[in-house]
Amino acid sequence: MRLPDEPDIPAQINIVPMIDVIFAILTFFIMSTLFLTRSEGLPVNLPKAGSAQQQASAPITVTLDAEGKISVNRKAVDIEVLGEQVRTFMGNNPEALVVINADERVNHGKVVAVMDRLRQVKGAKLAIATQKP
């Protein structure tokens, strides 16, 4: 029972637990989106390099399989039209990163020929995909 001379205490809402729940949900969504990245590429046995560095996901992937067949973003192309295909995928991006996934059994001359064609594409930055040993 309340005494008549007691002052009315206003109702309070404690928001600290609510903030904890919001941060827990935010952390869950951030962590789950990290696992939703997809890898564009064909299965190749990449060479190993101890100084390999992680690169950001590249929208343009040029793949050379063990038989020497060339693909751009999983679409088979001929070496003569390789530059045109990469320009098409670049669109308006002035500095697109082009990752070369070359199987370790591919002839070195074939890889150099592909790199030469890609260097003729203005604004294309080349990177070679490797695996850590």
Domain residue ranges in the chain: 60-128
Structure tokens at 67: 């038989």
Per residue in 41-68, pLDDT tens?
A: 556 566 677 776 665 545 688 888 888 8
Q: What is the pLDDT of residue 28?
A: 93
User: Domain 60-128 carries which CATH code?
Assistant: 3.30.420.270
Determine the residue type at 27. Answer: T
Q: Which of 57-61, 80-84, 86-90, 97-101 has the lowest mean pLDDT?
A: 57-61
Q: What is the pLDDT of residue 24?
A: 94
Residues above pLDDT 90, as percent of the chain: 8
Q: What is the pTM of this model?
A: 0.56
3-state secondary structure of 16: helix
Cα 14 to its chain centre, rounded Å, is 42
On the question of pLDDT at 100 being above 90, the answer is no
On the question of pLDDT at 40 being above 80, the answer is no
Q: Identify the band that residue 19 occupies on the pLDDT scale cut at 50, 70 and 90.
A: very high
| Closest C-alpha among 28, 21, 65 to residue 43 | 65
Neighbours of 38 (CB within 10 A): 6
On the question of pLDDT at 110 being above 80, the answer is yes
Q: What is the pLDDT of residue 4?
A: 65
